[in-house]
Structure 1
Amino acid sequence: MDELMKVARDCFYTPIYMKKNRPAYKLSVLCDSDKIELVEDIIFANTSSIGIRKTQVERTILERESVTIPYQGLSLSYKKVFHKDNSYIYPEYQSALEFSRKYCLPIKEAFDSLKFIYGEKYEK
């Protein structure tokens, strides 16, 4: 998956059962059309797969901007997204992870704290 993530937008696997109730994993990869051949090469070189099913999908994305806030020696990164007349703030995972480690918090509490910090700084 590390090799795939270098060229794909996202990838994940799902445990499944194949015919005759054999356990397996389904590998799903989302990539741009110009990367398909490279993704296929990675899959065939690194898995036991002998075939790939492909489906074209459409993607709707929200307008977004990146926001960075300095906070007690950390650089906290967020995505601010916009939908119609609303905006939403999402802390970046890496910032939440660093915050959770620095303050010995569970990652969920770190996410909540980062949203609070953003609100204190920008939504007064």
Structure 2
Amino acid sequence: MEQLNDIALDTFFTPIFMKKNRPAYKLSVICDKEYEKEIEKIIFRNTTTIGVRKYEVQRDILSRRAEKVYYEDMELYLKIVNFEDEEYIYPEYESAKKLAKNKNIPIKAAFEMIKDIYRNIDLLSK
């Protein structure tokens, strides 16, 4: 999965049942067409699969920008996303995880804390 995440847009597992009710996992990978063959190589080398199903999809993405805030000697990363005159703040998971561990707080609280840190910096700069 780590190798796939280096070049894919997203990867995820879904628990499924195969023929004869055998439990399995379906690996889904979303990638740009240019990485298709590299993705297949990784899958065939690292799994027991003997086939890959491929579907083309369209993807719409919102405008976004990456931001970095500092809190107690930590660099915390987030994305600011815009949709129809609204702005949404999405802290990066690894930053929230680092803050949660550092402050010994739940990760949900760390996500909210990063949003608050960014909002307060944004208010101070106006």
**TM-score interval w.r.t. the shorter chain?**
over 0.9
Residue 42 of structure 1 aligns to a residue in which SS? helix
Residue 53 of structure 1 aligns to a residue in which SS? coil
The match for 2:52 is 52
Query: For the residues of structure 2 that align with 1:46 and 1:57, how far apart are their CA atoms?
Result: 25
Query: For the residues of structure 2 that align with 1:70 and 1:37, how far apart are their CA atoms?
Result: 40
Unaligned segments of structure 1, at least 5 residues:
none
TM-score (norm 2): 0.92
How far 1:107 sits from its partner (Å)? 0.6
TM-score (norm 1): 0.94
Residue 60 of structure 1 aligns to a residue in which SS? coil
* Residue 22 (str. 1) matches residue 15 (str. 2): no
Query: For the residues of structure 1 that align with 2:36 and 2:117, how far apart are their CA atoms?
Result: 41
8 Å contact 2:69–2:117 — kept in the other structure? no
Unaligned segments of structure 2, at least 5 residues:
none
The match for 2:98 is 98
Q: Percent identity?
A: 47
Which stretches of structure 1, 4 residues or more, deviate above 4 A after TM superposition? none
| Residues paired across the two proteins, number | 124
